[in-house]
Amino acid sequence: MERVRVFLMADREDTTYDVFETDMGWVAIVGGDHGIVRASLPEVSPASALDAVQPEIGTAVHAPEQHVDSRFLITAFCAGEPVDLADIPIDTRKVSPFFRKAWEACRSIPSGETRSYRWLAEQAGNARAARGAGQAMARNKLALLVPCHRVVSSSGDLHGFGGAGLPLKSRLLAMESGR
């Protein structure tokens, strides 16, 4: 029993979080030494932003000073400034290899542009896995940092986008293309 407890303590990583207001709403982020592990979309309140980063926030300590750079970039992005959120490190160690590749490909899509789920699947190494690429976007725990709003159907139609839905996806795309 003692060996299991020691292993669990060694496996546990200290995480910290911040919640802050942007021009688009409240955003919460949780991260550790390897980068951000979870981020919310802009929400209507601090409480709803914190709810959106469950369960990762459960053991995290509120430490805004640990997230100054991320906060600055996300706030600037939500204000419509041309910043690259790919500069914020993300932690994908607990993600499947296919999802990791899909998220990396998604982060490479230039601001103001879109790509199809099929393109994303090809970039992730399986051209026939467009549905899998869709699942990688649907299970994206790093909203805005993995800009799944830039992924659309092959016809160009917008599809699902978290709790905020298509209005936020459309707003983000319009903001980026209007810069």
Q: Tell me the per-residue pLDDT of 137-167, one tens digit each, with 9 for 90 and over.
A: 989 999 899 999 999 887 777 766 666 677 8
List of the chain residues with pLDDT < 50: 1-11
Query: Which among 130, 148, 151, 164 is annotated as catalytic?
Result: 148
pLDDT of residue 160: 65
Domains contained in the chain, CATH given: 8-87 (3.30.160.70), 97-177 (1.10.10.10)
148 is catalytic: yes
List alpha helices for the chain, DSSP H.
2-11, 46-51, 68-78, 97-107, 117-123, 130-138, 165-177
CA torsion 177-132-84-53 (nearest 10°) is 110
pTM of the model: 0.87
| Residue 57: DSSP 8-state | G
pLDDT, tens digit, for every residue of 72-81? 999 999 999 9
What angle is formed at CA 149 by the lines to CA 45 and CA 25, rounded to 5 degrees? 15
pLDDT of residue 2: 45
